[in-house]
Amino acid sequence: MIDRDHIVGEDELNAYVDGELPADRRVIVEAWLAAHPDDAAKVAAWNKQAELIRARYGAIADEAPPQRFNVGRLTRRRHGAMASAVAAVVAAFVIGGTLGWTARGIETARPSDLARFTADALDAYRLYVVEVRHPVEVPGDQRPHLNAWLSKRVGSPLHAPELEKVGLKLVGGRLLPGPTGATAFFMYETPSGERFTLYCGRTSDRDTALRYTTGEKNAAYFWVDGDLAYVLSGPAERDKLREIAQAAYEQIDRRMPPQQGG
């Protein structure tokens, strides 16, 4: 007869990595890992990824969120120590996420649709960039399905740009609620773990030129192509961010159908 008290599932492995297990269960999980090398390798990979992300984004994770924010409404499930990082990035956005608008000539009192869209994109970047095991809903190796699904939900043809030439691999994507409706969110990653995101959805704005905005530690290039707004977000390294945004911009522009004359 199988002793179910000594069977360890993925939820318990997650809790073990996050330091949430009582001492008696930690002993059982450690014995399980010693006897199951595949699970041990999985836990080791999670720990390594968490260390890399915390090393790069730790300043955000250490900030306390305001009490009025219920982070549980923003994420599907809680991930122990990583949940505190998610909560902190929401607070970081609220406190400092709109600092760049005044310097770029966009009114903060009555922001334009594109300004609100870009602020939401930076919010999404901060929220998901610290996720270790669940940063996306559909992985990057399912690119055709990802493109088709998000195109259908957003209501316009979408294609995750291929950014390998600028050192980025597609992690995957997810569907998010945006200021104008369903919005697509693509995440990319460098070999060293640095992450960039592309946020896109419908807009009535027609400001098509590449423009730049920055907060305290993050920044974005944003533009409009046809009826879609795009925001490329990442660390506030302007030259690198512009290189990536330009590569995405050129691919998206080539895919757009010609505008009808009027």
Q: Which of 9-18, 41-50, 158-167, 185-194 has the lowest mean pLDDT?
A: 41-50
Task: Phi first, then psi: give them for residue 211, nearest 5 degrees.
Answer: -130, 160
CATH code, domain with 185: 3.30.200.100
Instruction: Kindly state whether residue 216 falls inside one of the protein's structural domains.
Output: yes
**Pairing relationship of beta strands 181-189 and 218-225 according to DSSP bridges:** unpaired
Q: How many CB atoms lie within 10 A of CB 183?
A: 25
Instruction: Kindly state whether residue 250 falls inside one of the protein's structural domains.
Output: yes
Q: Which of 14-23, 120-129, 227-236 has the lowest mean pLDDT?
A: 14-23
| Per-residue pLDDT reduced to its tens digit, 193-213 | 899 999 999 988 877 788 999
Residue 213's domain comprises 97-255
Q: Which of 4-8, 23-27, 189-193 has the lowest mean pLDDT?
A: 4-8
Examine the pLDDT at 136 and tell me if it is beyond 90: yes
- Please count the structural domains in the chain: 2
What's the pTM value of the predicted model, to 2 decimals? 0.62
Q: How many residues comprise the chain?
A: 262
Residue range 168-186: average pLDDT? 94
Residue 179: both structure tokens together = 């200021």
